[in-house]
A and B are shown apart, each in its own frame.
Chain A
Amino acid sequence: MDLAIDEGTLERLKGIRALGASQIRPLGIEADRLGRPTPPEHPFFEGLVRAGQGRTRWRGEGSGTQSEERAGSIGSSRSTLCLAEEMSYWDRGVAVSFPGPGLGEPPLISMGTEDQKRRFLGPFVHPDRARWGSFAMTEPGAGSDVAGIRASARKEGNTWILNGAKSFAANASRSDWIVVWATVDSSLGREGHRAFVVEKGTPGLGDFQVERKMGLKAYESTSFSLVDCRVPAENLIGGEEHYARRAGFKGAMRSFNATRPLVAVMAVGIGRAALDAGVEFAEKSDLLGDIRIRDRLERTRRKLRSARLLCWRAAWLADHGRPNILEASMAKAAAPTAALEAASLGMEILGVVGGRGDHLIEKLYRDVKAMDIVEGTGQVQRLIMARQLVQLPRD
């Protein structure tokens, strides 16, 4: 057993910390104050690209597997978790606004044809400028219950015609393309789902609306609609063969999940920021000696600490391709509430200062709530856990 972070990851953490203090947090505070996402033309993004950020994990033609990377520390889920936690410590909203293929990348890497990887991830190998990709599953009427999506896909000759509405897609209006999930037959549930790459400027893709949010304002959560949006057949991710093949595995669920612990650990990062700011304020106000305050800070730190370890364990299992459904959901159920508790306690330590609306902790209190909602709410995590623990039926 080893719970130490390797040197390579520690070095990268120090880099994030420097960038975090000098740019990421100030940018997040600025976006929060102005009530708008950081604009795509902001020099911060250009600087990131020059510094080698915003690239794809895809290694170019003929590679496509991540297995060698997984063996080492850099590129493992655990290393990614550490970096993501540190980014979220500085500002989770800014972290999501970073250029890159974003959440559209995993489906392209795992399902996409070589040609699709080249066309859509190729520009992210050595990006000439800040570029974004996006991912759109959620709809106004389908959040955690993804089987309920209504956006439709109908094939006409060599073209797919998409119709529907998508909500809360990160960075969608600034993206080169969006991975859009639609259904060929809504009565089929997940079996009917298809993923398409819809490129910027495609007629019928429009009505972009950057949503107004309680927190995490530095990145755009964008809703848009698809009206008879014609997408070429070669933009169906994986091609039709992929879905025909998958139908053979009806009901087979992936036995491990790497994104839930990742999102969970981001909550730990936000919670840690709130804890640090709370302790700092308590110290300055001479409150740290107050046993009531001290004990609640201790409890908060303890809950964040166990949540982080639960995230690490789930990621470690995923790195070894071992089943982690229970552990991943456990981490995702535990971390956001621990982080909210940290921010809420921070507000109490601030006292009426928290009511002013201009303290970092007040911002974190608003930011952190999203973490118990995205990637499956805490309630959905408990449902998933109950399926594992007591064979809770799906309906």
Chain B
Amino acid sequence: MIDFQIGDELELVRNTALNYADDHLRPALRENESARTPGRAAEEAFAEIGFATLEWPELDAESGLGAVARYLVLEELAAADPGAALALDPLGPALYPLMELGGPDAVRDFGEPLLSSMGSRGLLIWNGAGAPRCLERKGNSWSGVVPWVPADRADLVVVLDEEGASVVQQGIELERLRGSGLRTAGASELTLHSAPIAAEWSGADGARRALARARLYVAALLVGVMRESSDYSRRYAMDRVAFGKPIAHHQALAFLIADMAIAVDSARILGLEAAWRLDTGRPGEEASATAFLEAAEQATFVTPNGVQILGGHGFMQDHPVEKFMREGRTLGLFFGGVDGAREDAARGMKAFPEEPLLPLGAA
């Protein structure tokens, strides 16, 4: 029966992520953004906790916690710095095509080497519908230019489309960009020069599942960012006095703050539902596309209003809300963006007069 209790084990995981973010990310947000890295100490602490392998199949005792655990961790990390969340996770969403299409062997062969070298990055490039296809396949290699990846280094590139996935490890060139959001992860233009394919797998079902997990990964980051934008601006509004009272007590802002809280929780709860579906073996493609869409849309409502509530101060880089606004926007651009997600969220849209409570996909 409907139960939102996440349980002791997941509470522990979430608290560990929260404490990690407090200790290693929040104190140096701006420094890390300029340095384009969360730094060696943060990387080592992250590796020690074992967050990177949270979902890895059959690797160690910590593995196999699943999508809900990953969601909770990413939300907490992103509530501090989503760029750091990406930089710290060596494989990031590139794990999912390996996991869904290649299986445990692929995760071991391509994933494990990244764990042993600090700062390694695997990147997932979506080369399917919803965005211009940047990469072109010629024989056994990929060529083309991806205008932006949130990384300054790429040890591995996984190319995913509707048909399957392939891995390249050579012929990768990165040219540094300033970047908009997520600068702690770095920012580069990625070029593949006839990059030889090291391994490939085909399968439309696996590709859909991999994309679903990748979207949910981004949705969790979006929820973390907007949650923090909402909380930070709410606290500010309680302190800042204008026209004789805290600005939060002027109804125009009180209602806006309430609406921002609704927006965060709406996105968050759809993400948790999608994660629960993936963890319980239910179809999750439509649910994760839905969660991604809601998160991307709500983030573009919440994070600019986070700046708005702080007024002129919000526009200055002394407060993090402008950073959240850049990140709330750029995260929603991944993997075909909202229009790509709409395709999958609306797939199979039909009426369900014969099924109780089903039309919203809760079965």
A: which residues have CB within 8 A of B? 1-6, 9-10, 13-14, 16-17, 21, 73, 76, 78-79, 82, 85-86, 268, 272, 275-277, 279-280, 283, 288, 294-295, 297-298, 301-310, 312-313, 315-317, 326-327, 330, 333-334, 379, 381-383, 385-386, 389-393
Contacts and interface: CB of A to CB of B under 8 A. Distances in A.
B273 A297 contact: no
B360 A333 contact: no
A4 B359 CA distance: 14
Contact of A386 (B1, B255, B354): B255
Nearest to B298: A306
Nearest to A297: B349
Given A1-B4, A288-B349, 7 more contacts: A1-B3, A2-B3, A268-B360, A297-B346, A301-B361, A333-B262, A382-B259
Q: Give 3 nearest A-B pairs by CB, closest first.
A: A390-B248, A13-B356, A386-B254
Interface string B2-34: 111111001000000000000000000000000
A313 B2 CA distance: 8
B35 interface: no
B216 interface: no
B148 interface: no
A168 to B, nearest CB: 26
A2 B20 CA distance: 27
Interface of B: 1-7, 10, 68, 234, 237-238, 246, 248-249, 251, 254-255, 257-259, 261-262, 265-267, 269-270, 272-273, 276-277, 280, 290, 293-294, 342, 345-346, 349-354, 356-357, 359-362
Given A382-B254, A390-B238, A308 B362 contact: yes
Contacts of B359: 272, 275-276, 301
Contacts of B246: 390
B265 A330 contact: yes
Contact of A4 (B1, B261, B262, B265): B1
B248 A334 contact: no
A29 to B, nearest CB: 15
Contacts of B362: 3, 5, 305, 308
A306 B2 contact: no
A302 B4 contact: no
A392 B248 contact: yes
A294 to B, nearest CB: 5
A79 B357 CA distance: 12
Nearest to A333: B262
A298 B345 CA distance: 7
B346 A386 contact: no
A161 to B, nearest CB: 40
Contacts of B267: 306
25 contacts: A1-B7, A73-B1, A86-B357, A268-B360, A276-B351, A276-B359, A295-B342, A297-B349, A298-B290, A302-B293, A303-B266, A305-B290, A305-B360, A305-B362, A306-B266, A306-B267, A313-B4, A316-B4, A383-B254, A385-B262, A386-B254, A386-B257, A389-B248, A389-B254, A392-B248
A298 B234 contact: no
Contacts of B266: 303, 306-307, 310, 334
Contact of B350 (A279, A304, A315): A279
A82 B262 CA distance: 22
B257 A302 contact: no
Contacts of A294: 346, 349
Nearest to A278: B351
A302 B345 contact: yes
Contacts of B270: 302, 305-306, 309
Contact of A390 (B254, B259, B356): B254
Nearest to A272: B359
Nearest to B293: A302
